[in-house]
Structures are given as C-alpha cells and as structure tokens.
Structure 1
Amino acid sequence: MESLVNKEGLKIVGSLIKLNRLNQKMSQAALCEGICVSSYLSKIENGEVMPSLEMIELLFEQLAIEYVASPDFIKVMTDRFEEFFEELNFNGFVQSKEIFKHLEQEELKLIHSPLILDYYLVKLAHYCATDERECLEEAYRLLTSVKPLLNKTQRFRYYLYQGIDLLYYHQDYELAKQFFELAKQELETGRLYEMLANVSYNKASFIRRFSS
C-alpha cells in the first residue's frame, strides 16, 4: 500500500475511497468519524490531497477495502478490459458478454484495486443501450461522482457510451451528438466517427418519416 503515497496515487486513493463509500451508501461524516474532518475527506476523494499512509489504512479499514495491486492481476485484468472494448466495438455483444461475465466474477477485487474506474467504465459500456437501466444508471452515477479523476481515455469512454445510449435507447439524436462531440475533444477514433455518422443518418431518417 506504500506505493499509493505519491502523486500518481492521488486519483487511485480518491476513487477507491469515494466509489466504495458511495457503493456502501455511507456519508462522508460517517466514514471519517475519528479519522479526519469531512472537508479533508472531500479533498482526498477529489484527488486534491494525499493523506498519510496511516490515514489511508484507517479509511480502507472502515470501508473493508482489501487493496489489490498484484502486478499479475493488474496486467491480466487490463488485458481483459481492452479485449472487452475491442469485442464490443467491432464484434458486438456475443463475445463481450462472455468477457464481462468473467470480469464480474472478479468484481470485489477490481473495486479494491487501481482498476476501479476502468471497471465501472466497462459496466457503463456493457449496459448502455440495453433495458438494464438500473445497472447503467448506477455505473453512470458513480462515474459522474469521480469525473474529475478520469484520465483522457477514461473521459472519452465516459462520453462515448453515454452518447451511444442516447442514440440507440433514447433516440435523442441532438443530445447524443453533444456527447460524441465531447468524446471527440478527448480522442478521435473510427468508432466515434461511425457513431457521429449514425446520428446524422438516424436524424435524417426521422425527419423523412415525420415529413411523409
């Protein structure tokens, strides 16, 4: 756990504490009682300050976080994440569903690891444009709460999959385009341009149906 006490560990510590606290429906006041003041906990969760190792251990203990940072585990799961996104983006749901099932079996470890943000992005992507709205909304709510902690690739996926949900589930073409444009500010990919083209096509089809 000593590896967390550095500049790179700010976002990991913040996301682990905040997301696990929200998952457990625990208030900041309840978590930090006897450890620190709520305002300091808020800064920790937002990645603004690095607490001492002792304080991290106390907060993790309160949240029953058993920190997982095995290099082998991180590598295997990171590779599985990339495989999931590759399958989802280019081959649809068939194989990505199987990969997701495997990842779900590792959920407890993943939400206690540096990969917690990426895992919730996988969940957001998996549930977008499906009828499993509670699962989607939970992933979206948690990710939105730690949005300032997301890196460039994570922000891209955060906007992209919200846009896909708006396009295919809600058929809100204007709002979908806004989210795709936000994703474009982070990264430009073939998948993103495909979605922007789909917005234009579906919007034009809607106008033709409405006009006929």
Structure 2
Amino acid sequence: MKIGHLIRAERVRQDMKQIVLAKGICTPSYLSKIERNQIEPSEDITEMLMKRLGMDPGKLQKNDEEMEREFEKMLLKTYREVITARDVAFAKERLGYLEQNLPLFENDSLHFTYSLITFRFNMIVRIDSDKLKQEINLLEESIDKFDVYQLYLFQLNIGLFCYNTGNVKMAIHYYELILRKLESLPLGEWEKAEFNYIISVFYMADGHTFNSIDHARRALNFFREQLMMSRVLDCYILIGISYKRSYKFQDALEAYSKAMQITEEFNLHSEKGIIYHNIGTLNSTMRNSGEAIQYYKKSIDHKIDSSEKLITILCLIEEYSKMNEKNLVSDWASKGIAMYHQLNDENQISFFHHFSLYKSLHSKEGLSVETAEAAIQHFKEIQDFRYIHKYCIALAEWYYYNRKYKLASIFYRDGNRYGYIYRKTEKWEDL
C-alpha cells in the first residue's frame, strides 16, 4: 500500500525526525522513499512504523473506491455545516469526530482534502499558530499534487492564516489570486458567498472601502436568498464599518440599524454585542466620546466570548485615554491584561501589548520605554504599520515631554516613516 503520505504527515505533526522513526526498523533513506510513495514497504515495516507513531494499522483501507467516495461526501458535507454555522463549539465537536473516525486511505488526494479541511477547522477553534505554521509547511510540500479545488482550499487557508496573524496585505494577495479565477472554480454558491464575505473583511481592514462594500453586498444577496439571517447581519455590520471608514456616517448608522433590526426579528440577541461595539466606534469617529463609552460598555455586557471582549476593552481604553481619565485607563487595562492571561491564547498577544502600553502611559511613573519598545517591536514583527506609527509617536511625545529631544526626533522620524507605509504614501508631498 502507498501510505507514505500518512506516515510523513503524522511524523511531522509529532515533530519527529526521520532518524528517530526509522531507528531499528529501516534506514532513514529507505523511510524517505516510503514517505515519498516511491516504494511500498512490507506489512511488517508498515506496522512497526505506524505503531511507533501511535497510529492504528487496523484503520488502513485498501482500494475501496465506494468507501472513499462516501467518506469524501461526508467530509465535504461537514465542511459546509461547520463553515456556515460559524459556531466554535460545533467546529470543535466535528473536528474531534473527524480525527477519531478517520480511515487511513491509500488515496493521497483524499488525505490532502481531509488535511486542508481540518486545517480550516483548527483555525476556527484557535489552535496555536506555531502548530498551524508547521501544518502549512507540510501542506506546501505537496502543493504540486493538489487538484484545482485543493489549491483553492490551500490559498483560502493561507490567506486566513495571514490575516489572523496580522499580515493583512499577504492575506489579500492570496485571496486576489483566487478572485481572478473564482467563477471558473468548482465551488458551490455558498462557498462563493463565503469567499466574498471574507475578502470583504480583508479589504475593509486594509482601507479598500469600495471593494469591501462591493463584496459584502455580493455575499449579502446570497445569504438573504437562503434566509441565513445571521450572515445577513454580519454583512450589514461589515458594510457599516466600511461606510464609517469612508466618513459616510449616516449610511453607516443605517447599516447598523438594519443589523439591530434583524437581531430583534430573528431572535439573534447574542449578536447585539458586536453591533453595540461598532456603533461605539462610529460615535468615537464622530468625536462623541460619552456616547461611544456607553455603547462600548453595552457591548462588553452583551458579548459572551471573552476573546471578543478584548477589542472593545481596547476601544474603551482609547476613549478614556483621549479624555485623560488615567484611573479608568489603568483599571480597564488591568482587566484586559487579566482577561488575556485567563484566555491563554498567544494569538491574542497584540492586546497584551496594547493594554500594557496604555497602563504604563497613564501610570504615576509614566510611560515605560521598555514596554513601548516591546510593543513597537511586536507590531513590526507582524507588519501592523498602523500601530508601529501610533506607538512610535506616543514614545516620541514622551521623550519630548521629558526633554530628550534627540530620542524624540528618532521616534518621530520612525513614526512618520511607518505612517507613510500605512497610508500607502511615499513622499510628504502626497499627503
């Protein structure tokens, strides 16, 4: 049987070297040929390798095309259910089921589809980004064997991974590769709607408001036809954010009002938290700090998932910081740091740097240079130019206030440089 792809995938997943797996069973070079499906090992070698990896040889399936078709049908059905449900607990349950009930097929193509779909599920349940990166590296080595649909899933996943780790521009790059051939891909209408929604999120995050609204409306039309009202609500929120960023405040408010109406008509009260949050940001942009704070607090009260509260806490802190309410900034920053530690999710580490910087800035001792530089370095690593610019300016202001003019000038200049990058501007004349 050709089971090299299974052996290799599990070995890499366990971070085991070839020499360790091969020891006492075969030579590392022989194992390498097995993993590349260049040779078929004996049953004894297969069994020994699998047992060392903790795999069950009894699950091996020889060429049973009917069983493969049934499994693939179930796999794709599960994929649609999880993606359209947008429920983390459901995704976790389905992922566990697939992992526990996976037959080990000789068909490497079916294994690739399984790996690509479970990778998406792992992102939903927030598996550690380092483990996801390891899985990406494993998948990349097989990319020349992917069919058209598998390549689509791979680029879709890579784009989402980039976005989740802060690299929005690279996320857009992968999704625009898909966009160029979207209509020719063998996708269901639900997948096209889902793609349009996600690329709308990416465009919005990078300031492409026209593109964001356009793709959000395409997704909205499908979701509305299918009576997927929670997804219609998501689209209205996304459209509202894009209008806000275009300074079309009345249009933004109308979009949020439609979203709130849907929560009432279709009993989607759990979604009110995100709507209140966005009405808060709208009021903040309009310089209505008092109303913004009220909506942020409503948002925190309505949100159930602690990880979703972090962004609202940050917005609340920023509003209090603008009002120079030092004690309130410190109190909410402490709550945010405590929540971050409780979540124990390294994907949320940006919030730790946000909260730590604001807490330090408004403390009696004043801004800690070490804390500020750690935040700036973190955002440089994830290429979040907005916050590099923002926190360089904050540190420069601190140095200037303390009459350290040379250091202030260095960070003003650095802040301006990253501000140009963030605004996609090369020369001061273009500002």
Structure 2 length-normalised TM: 0.38
Q: What secondary structure is seen at the aligned counterpart in 2 of 1:36?
A: coil
Structure 1 residue 157: Cα displacement = 1.1
CA distance in 1, matches of 2:27, 2:167: 43
Structural mapping, 1:37-48, within 5 Å: 37-47=27-37
State whether structure 2 residue 167 is matched by structure 1 residue 175. Answer: no
Q: Which of these two proteins has the greater Rg computed from alpha carbons?
A: 2
Structural mapping, 1:54-65, within 5 Å: 54=43, 55-65=45-55
Unaligned stretches of 5+ in structure 1?
A: none
CA distance in 1, matches of 2:14, 2:195: 38
Structure 1 residue 77: Cα displacement = 3.8
Structure 1 residue 87: Cα displacement = 2.9
State whether structure 2 residue 104 is matched by structure 1 residue 113. Answer: yes
Call closer, same or farther: CA 1:37–1:208 in 2, change over 3 Å: farther
Structure 1 residue 73: Cα displacement = 6.2
Structure 1 residue 98: Cα displacement = 2.8
Q: What secondary structure is seen at the aligned counterpart in 1 of 2:104?
A: coil
Equivalent pairs counted in the alignment come to 195
Structure 1 residue 107: Cα displacement = 1.6
Q: 1:200 aligns with which of 184, 203, 212?
A: 203
Structural mapping, 1:1-212, within 5 Å: 4=1, 9=2, 13-47=3-37, 49-54=38-43, 55-67=45-57, 68=59, 69=61, 74-89=68-83, 91-94=84-87, 97-98=89-90, 100-110=92-102, 113-114=104-105, 116-128=111-123, 132-134=126-128, 137-149=130-142, 151-152=146-147, 153-167=149-163, 169-183=164-178, 188=185, 189=187, 190-191=192-193, 194=196, 195-203=198-206, 204-205=208-209
Contact 1:80 1:99 survives alignment (8 Å): no
CA distance in 2, matches of 1:31, 1:197: 45
The one-letter code of the counterpart of 1:151 is F
CA distance in 1, matches of 2:17, 2:170: 33
Contact 2:95 2:118 survives alignment (8 Å): no
The one-letter code of the counterpart of 2:77 is E
Contact 2:34 2:40 survives alignment (8 Å): yes
CA distance in 1, matches of 2:181, 2:140: 15
Unaligned stretches of 5+ in structure 2?
A: 210-241, 248-421, 424-431
Contact 1:163 1:179 survives alignment (8 Å): yes
CA distance in 2, matches of 1:146, 1:165: 13
CA distance in 1, matches of 2:89, 2:74: 12
Contact 1:84 1:99 survives alignment (8 Å): no
Contact 1:120 1:143 survives alignment (8 Å): no
* Cα deviation code 1:16-61 (max 9, x no counterpart): 11122233343211211233321232232234x1233343333223
Instruction: Please give the root-mean-square deviation of Cα atoms over the aligned residues, in Å.
Output: 3.7
Call closer, same or farther: CA 1:83–1:137 in 2, change over 3 Å: farther
Contact 1:180 1:192 survives alignment (8 Å): no
The one-letter code of the counterpart of 1:63 is L
Call closer, same or farther: CA 1:105–1:199 in 2, change over 3 Å: closer
Contact 1:118 1:154 survives alignment (8 Å): yes
CA distance in 1, matches of 2:141, 2:181: 15
CA distance in 2, matches of 1:58, 1:185: 45
Q: What secondary structure is seen at the aligned counterpart in 2 of 1:35?
A: coil
Q: What secondary structure is seen at the aligned counterpart in 2 of 1:159?
A: helix
CA distance in 1, matches of 2:100, 2:19: 24
* Cα deviation code 1:77-99 (max 9, x no counterpart): 4233212322344x2413x8536
The one-letter code of the counterpart of 2:53 is L
Q: Which structure's relative contact order is higher, taking Cα pairs within 8 Å and 6+ residues apart?
A: 1
CA distance in 2, matches of 1:120, 1:100: 15
Call closer, same or farther: CA 1:44–1:146 in 2, change over 3 Å: farther
Quote the sequence identity (%). Answer: 18
Call closer, same or farther: CA 1:113–1:19 in 2, change over 3 Å: same
Contact 1:177 1:196 survives alignment (8 Å): yes
CA distance in 2, matches of 1:178, 1:43: 35
Contact 1:121 1:139 survives alignment (8 Å): no
